[in-house]
Amino acid sequence: MQAKKRYLILLSAGASLALLFYLLIDLPPARNIRHERGGRKEQPWPHFSDPLPPLQPWDHADTEDYNVHTSPRQKRDGNTSVYKGKRCRMDSCFDHSLCQKNGFKVYVYPQQKGEKISESYQNILAAIEGSRFYTSDPGQACLFVLSLDTLDRDQLSPQYVHNLKAKIQNLPLWNEGRNHLIFNLYSGTWPDYTEELGFDIGQAMLAKASISSDTFRPNFDISIPLFSKDHPRTGGERGFLKYNTIPPFRKYMLDVVLLTTCKHGKDWQKHKDARCDRDNAEYDRYDYREMLHNSTFCLVPRGRRLGSFRFLEALQAACVPVMLSNGWELPFSEIIDWKTAAVIGDERLLLQIPTTVRSIHQDKILSLRQQTQLLWDAYFSSVEKIVLTTLEIIQDRVLEQGSRSSLMWNSHPGGLFALPQYSSYLGDFPFYYATLGIRPYPKFTAVIHAVSPLVSQSQPILKLLLSVAKSQYCDQIIVLWNCDKPLPAKHRWPATSVPVIVIEGENKVMSSRFLPYPSIMTDAVLSLDEDTVLSTTEVDFAFTVWQSFPERIVGYPARSHFWDSNKERWGYTSKWTNDYSMVLTGAAIYHRYYHFLYTHFLPVSLKTMVDQLANCEDILMNFLVSAVTKLPPIKVTQKKQYKETMMGQSSRASRWADPDHFAQRQTCMNKFASWFGAMPLVHSQMRLDPVLFKDQVSILRKKYRDIERL
């Protein structure tokens, strides 16, 4: 009898093993949950049909509840507060008609009395209210954002907002969440850390950190990175890749250090065990930042939730992230091709990482590291950039015909500076000429800013107009009439070989010189003050230089900035020194796209300040271009007798005659730096001269011979 029982037990065990073996080799093919981008091959990591559930605490792994099998469908249905609108898409849960009249405008609910808001959520709301999308009128809004803090939905957190469900349902504009955007960094609580928010989001979009691919609603929700409360509100530090070193390896390549510490929370000593002292001592032996900045690849495993702070730390450090968090919908996956900046691993195949990393070529490693820096600077270095990227993604969905291409999002200068409303053709932007293998149009449009009445035929503006018109590269001349006097009669302007168009300035304000006038048809704009003195040769040489640097400002009058340590503020100087950081737009060439960016990207507050002071518009344009390019302008050689103002300090029309002019420019520098979140201007010591300039050869052999003449 006992032998029979043993036989039955062995037979059952054998049948179980056979069934298990059959199931393992007959797994269904993996379903690809992400869209292919540009036909690139997948990473050589195996794909599984189901993402792993969040890791469970070690002390609950043997409980009865943990071992009960729960299907993915049951798990999803359990999170009722998140998934009541799980089938929502832009065409079913978003009212596009709200965006048709006033464009893409965002309304933030007024803060309710007695409601506490975390510092991180205050930064998010401040970024929205400081953006060009913000409106204080809910009747003009296309998108609505709550003033109730939804970032931390961990019930054990002191930042947790109670009774949020009732508070949201009582909002007069809630409308079941339609056209609403909800931000969240932490969901669920110990021990499971599910994606439970504690309230029904209805038809609202979710901008969420650590969101899983199973719960993510494609082209509706947005995955954002997990960031700490210390993450900068604006600006942020640049990435740490200073030089494109080849080979691109650092001090550490395949060293894996596994450490832990008990120092979590303020009362960690009350709960420490016998291993804590030893673990803490081992942890303190290593300098985390030193290892991070000297590593080529960085493991980014999941934390309590799918995302962790290691992700942004690795990006900033130019350490290629090796993603080990199965099922995590990576931040901004809708627009970012993460295969160009990270290694997408599988946490179940940890031992394959060294082999996979070794197989990556040096050129590819350098490319990956460079891309981490582009993505960090463009989308992740501050709360403002994370928020603006979120809003731009939604705007692209709403304005489908004017949405950005993948190249715009994944190449310099990034999607935030490449506005698709300007053009749908990449060749119309100054950043993509090299990528497309094209050159800018070989002509320029001169825009002369006129503020003085035309009373004499010997005025500098008329001499300037004739000199510019003689340039072989001049397509047309636009005179922007910002003078209080009426427009001069047509016969008062000299006859030229190119068209001369006189336009009356809009409201006679300084910012009108940078409006995107439809009459500007060329890529290049030669911006001139009415009192500038330039010869035809100087104009030709400056334009020739610009054709090689179409994304930068190229010109003559240079200025510089410096940090005044005594006053703890930025200073502005016009002294002739060995470096510069600005080229004033009184005599400069730049791409016409910057007119569009100046008008539509910069906030009204900065442009209003410029118009009220009638000053600083040239500084603001330099700030903008340097913020976009991360490069300095280019100064070119000029004649010795060049003067920036022929009208003299005694002329009433000259802005330089105003004693407050210089002080105002100091104020502008600091105001602009505050809005950009950092100082974008870059110093340079480079000046470009013509070949053979000052060389001891015959003047007849020199192409730009007039530049040398006194």
By annotation, the residues acting in catalysis are 618
Tokens of 485: 């006097």
Separation of alpha carbons 300 and 347, rounded Å? 10
- Cα–Cα distance, 386 to 379 (Å, whole number): 6
Place of tokens 């409308």: 175
Whether omega for the bond prior to residue 413 falls within 30 degrees of 0, making it cis, is yes
Ramachandran quadrant class, 650 (left: phi over 0; alpha: psi -120 to 50; beta: rest): alpha
> What CA–CA distance (Å, rounded) separates 602 from 334?
26
Instruction: Characterize the bridge pairing of strands 524-529 and 587-591.
Output: antiparallel
Report CA torsion sign: 568, 573, 577, 579.
positive
| Contact predicate 629/621, CB 8 Å | no
Contacts 24+ apart (CB under 8 A), 51-60: 51/212, 51/213, 51/214, 51/326, 51/327, 52/326, 52/327, 52/347, 52/348, 54/192, 54/193, 54/194, 54/302, 54/304, 54/305, 54/306, 55/302, 56/191, 56/192, 57/190, 57/191, 60/191
Return d(Cα 153, Cα 121) in angstroms, integer. 13
DSSP string computed for 390-443: HHHHHHHHHTGGGPPPHHHHHSTT-TTT--TTT-S-GGGSTTSHHHHT----S-
Distances (CA, A) of 365 to 253, 293, 359: 11, 15, 10
Q: What's the half-sphere exposure (Cβ side, CA atoms, 13 Å) at 541?
A: 26
- Comparing CA positions, the residue from 421, 427, 348 lying closest to residue 591 is 427
Q: Which two tokens stand for residue 358?
A: 């070794």
Phi-psi region of 418 (alpha: psi -120 to 50; beta: other; left: phi over 0): beta
| Cα–Cα distance, 132 to 302 (Å, whole number) | 35
HEC letters along 584-628: CCCEEEEECHHHHHHHHCCCHHHHHHHHHHCCCHHHHHHHHHHHH
**Tokens 């009415």 sit at which residue?**
530
CA distance 255 to 466: 68
34, amino acid identity? R
> Taking a C-beta distance cutoff of 8 angstroms, is the pair 100, 94 a contact?
no
Which residues touch 492 (CB under 8 Å, ≥6 apart)?
454
Place of tokens 């999941």: 302
Distance (Å, whole) CA 655 – CA 648? 10
E strand or H helix at 13: helix 2-25
Position 381, amino acid: S
Q: Which residue has the tokens 């060329």?
A: 522
Both tokens assigned to 240? 């740490």
CA distance 388 to 103: 16
